[in-house]
Structures are given as C-alpha cells and as structure tokens.
Structure 1
Amino acid sequence: MGTSLRPLTMAQTVAKNLKEKILTNQIAGGEPLRQDAIAKSFGISIIPVREALRQLEAEGLVQLIPHRGAIATELTVDKALEWIHMRLLLEVDLLGRAMDVMTDEDADRAETVLSLYETNLKNRTHIEQWSDFNWDFHKALYAPANRPETLDILANLHKKSDCYVRLQLLDGDNVERAQSEHRELLDLYRARDKDGATKVLAEHIINVANDLTTNLPSSA
C-alpha cells in the first residue's frame, strides 16, 4: 500500500526536472517545451521526453496542443481553488462515512503512512513524492468508507493539484503547520471524534487554499 521509494526511470527523471523548473518559475507559464531541445540537454532520445511530457500533462503542469507541441501550464489561483473546493466537499463527507465504520487497524495503517510522510518532510527527501505521500495518508483515512468511485475522483483531484500542494509545502512554515494538522487529524480519527476530525480536515484543506491564494496569480 502507498508510495514506494524506487529508482526513477529516465522519463521520470526528465519529468521531475521539468516539474521543478515549472514550480519555481524557471519555466514560465505559456513557455514552449521543445522535445528535441529537452532530449539534447539530457543526451537521450525523444521517446522518454514524450513520456515525461505526458506525465506532466496528467498532473496539470503541461498542455499538449495539436500542431503546437507542449507548453508549460500557467499556475493560477482560480484553477487551484476550484479543485480544492471539490476536495473540501468530497473529503469531509468521506471522512465522516469512514469514521462510522473504521477500526483500530485502519488508524494504524494511516499512522504508518503518515510516519513515512513526516520522515521525508523532515529530511526534505523525495520531494517529488511529497504530494503522493499526502494523498496516501488521506486515502488511508477514507478507505474504510468503501466508496471506490469517490476515491477515484479524489485521486484525480489530488493528481491535478499535485503541483500546487508541493508548491505550498516548499515553504517551511507551511510544512510545520501541515504536519501538526495531520497529527491532530489522526489523533481525532483514532479517538473516533467524528465532529472534531471533520472540522480539522475542513480547516486543513481551507488553509491550503489560503496559502495558494497568497502565492499564485489570478487568471483574471
């Protein structure tokens, strides 16, 4: 279960490199991503570059436009807030349903995932997988609800908002607060305090939205 730490393929290495440049605005929104130039810079064929761009398209970081090629997506608060609002509606409901039927073993599984996540945040290791660890923790909390279709929708939302979550977590203060909120959420979950847990979860997701509002431009 969860995110495994495994060597990156060449396509993943290219995707990771491009992702970091887009997130840090070294590659600006709307800037073209020439496959031949990228392949040359890595000393590789164009095939893994194409795969990397498809990965980034799935994460919302790249747009593949017919007859134009790939361009970097502009990160705007409007898009992020739409996804986060959908997360808020679905996740609070799903957590409540999960807590009606959860067991101590479910809480233990969430604890295991969170501990791995916290270790990597503390050591600032495997940064490219932080958002995966975040989703794995949330998914572990919601799993007892047995709502696979809702989980699929949420997995897609988390994937789309991957870049925004990682952008938020690159701020050290945000990392500390997120860790504290996750721990509080898990404690309430284990104590089966549904009202408290759903309240903390809602505040946690709203805090993500507030952080992004201050760090991203509007599309207007």
Structure 2
Amino acid sequence: MRDMLEQKNHRSKYRLPRQSLPEALSESLRERILSGEFKEGDPLIQEAIAAEYECSRMPVREAFRQLEAAGLIVSRIHKGSIVSALPSEQIGELFELRAMLECDILSRSLDHLSDEDLVHSEQILKHLEEAYHNRDIARVGALNWEFHRSLYLPATRVQTLAILQGINVHIDRYIRIQLLLTSGFEEAEREHRKILSMCKKRDPEVVEFMRGHIIRAGHDLLEALTKRRVSDTSAA
C-alpha cells in the first residue's frame, strides 16, 4: 500500500497542473509563431488547436488572450484570430525605441557592472555563440535578450527592463527571420564580443557602439523583411 502511494505521489509530481495548461499552450503556440511555422496573416482556429493539443477550447481561448496581449495575434469579429503582422514603420520604431532605452540603461549600468556580472554575461554569450554555430534559432532569441539584459541589470531600472522585454517579444520573430535570410550570425557574434570587451574596460564608448549595433540590426532586418514580403506576395 505504501509503495502504491509513493508511486502515485511520484507520478503526480510531474503532472501538469490544470491551471498551468493555458500558459503551456501559450508558450507552445508562441514558439511556433516565432519559429515561422505560423506566418503573418495565418488563421488560428480554436477548434483545430484544441484538437491538435487534445484539450478543450477553454484553455485555448485563454492562451489566445495571452498571445494577443503579447501582440503576436489579433482577434477580429466574425473572423477569429490571425497571426499579427507589424508594418515596417512600426518595426523600425521598435528598433529606435530599443536603441534609445538600451543605450540609456547601459550608460546607467556601466559603472555598476561587477566582475561577477561580466563573468555571468560571458557565460550567457558562450551559450548564445553555441546557438549561432548550431543555427539554433529558437535559442538565439531568448539568449540574445538574456545577454543584453545581463548588462543592464546593475542599473536597477525595473520598468525600463520590463518595457524592453515587451519590445523583445514583438521583434523576436523578425530577428529570427533576419538571421535566417541574411546569415547574420557572424556579424552578431563579432559585435556582441566587442560589446562585452568594451564593458569589461568600462569604456563609455560602448554606449554609442550599442546604438550602432541595434540600428544596424534594425536596418538589415527591414531590408530582409521587405524582400521576403515581396517574395511571398509574388508567390501568392
């Protein structure tokens, strides 16, 4: 009897809690959108998603609400939900916001970065470089943000970090597209190494280098995205 109870408790430890199902669904669908499996304008049908995940429509509806709040899908009356598409000018605006906010928070953080902080940043960067080399696009997005974030944490600007994380969610899928279309892995790796090296020296010029890093990435992305959208339109 005791063995049976222990076995039951062991199994329940790994059982997905009911209240976490919408979050698990949201995360799975988010990754499928970011990876490009679901493309801009693709419909997301609740019944089909529920059948695919073998669950009821209720957690799917909640997952859709979370994805809409993150800006990844939009719901339209009588048309259901579709994967959102950001106009090019809005993507450009997000990169301009990134440059403005990240340069400000980096300037505030630079004098407070400890050697331990920089060791942690370098560890993240090594994982990011590994993802670059393996062309592991799913890990690149998360690790890219973690590397940048690690350099900003000593500034203790909680609200700025929250805003930047929200921006990162919006542009993550487009950064993945850019890397795949432009093979920009080597340049990104080189620039991140330069940023870390300058931070280790507490070089104030790193702020302007960061600005250029972000603006160049935005420019390359918009160029690649424009070509892809034209190609997709022609194919249709």
- TM-score, normalised on structure 2? 0.76
Residue of structure 2 aligned with 1:177, choices 177, 182, 187: 187
Structure label with greater radius of gyration: 2
Does the aligned pair in 2 maintain the 1:32–1:71 contact within 8 Å? yes
The list of structure 1 runs, each at least 4 consecutive aligned residues, that deviate by more than 6 angstroms after superposition, is none
Partner of 2:30: 15
Report the RMSD for the aligned CA atoms in angstroms: 2.7
Partner of 1:164: 174
- Structure 1 position 84, deviation (Å): 0.8
Measure the CA separation in 2 of the matches of 1:18 and 1:51: 17
Does the aligned pair in 2 maintain the 1:98–1:142 contact within 8 Å? yes
Residue of structure 1 aligned with 2:146, choices 136, 145, 150: 136
Partner of 1:155: 165
Partner of 1:118: 129
Measure the CA separation in 2 of the matches of 1:96 and 1:72: 36
- Structure 1 position 92, deviation (Å): 0.8
Report the AA paired with residue 132 of structure 1: A
What's the secondary structure of 1:63's corresponding residue?
strand
Unaligned runs of 5+ in 1: 1-7
- Structure 1 position 193, deviation (Å): 0.8
Report the AA paired with residue 106 of structure 1: D
Does the aligned pair in 2 maintain the 1:33–1:69 contact within 8 Å? yes
Partner of 1:33: 44
Partner of 1:63: 74
Establish whether residue 204 from structure 1 lines up as the match of residue 213 from structure 2. yes
Measure the CA separation in 1 of the matches of 2:132 and 2:59: 29
Partner of 2:104: 93
Query: Closer, same or farther in 2 for the Cα pair 1:135/1:28, shift >3 Å?
Result: closer
Partner of 2:5: none
User: 1 or 2, which has the higher helix percentage?
Assistant: 2
- TM-score, normalised on structure 1? 0.81
**Paired residues, what number?**
207
- Structure 1 position 9, deviation (Å): 4.1
Partner of 2:10: none
Measure the CA separation in 2 of the matches of 1:180 and 1:145: 25
Does the aligned pair in 2 maintain the 1:60–1:161 contact within 8 Å? no
- Structure 1 position 41, deviation (Å): 4.2
Q: Percent identity?
A: 36
Report the AA paired with residue 161 of structure 1: I
Query: Closer, same or farther in 2 for the Cα pair 1:33/1:118, shift >3 Å?
Result: same
Query: Closer, same or farther in 2 for the Cα pair 1:28/1:11, shift >3 Å?
Result: closer
Partner of 2:156: 146
Deviations 1:141-175 (A, max 9, x none): 11111211211121111122222222222246211
Measure the CA separation in 2 of the matches of 1:92 and 1:163: 22
- Structure 1 position 28, deviation (Å): 4.1
Report the AA paired with residue 91 of structure 1: E
- Structure 1 position 90, deviation (Å): 0.9
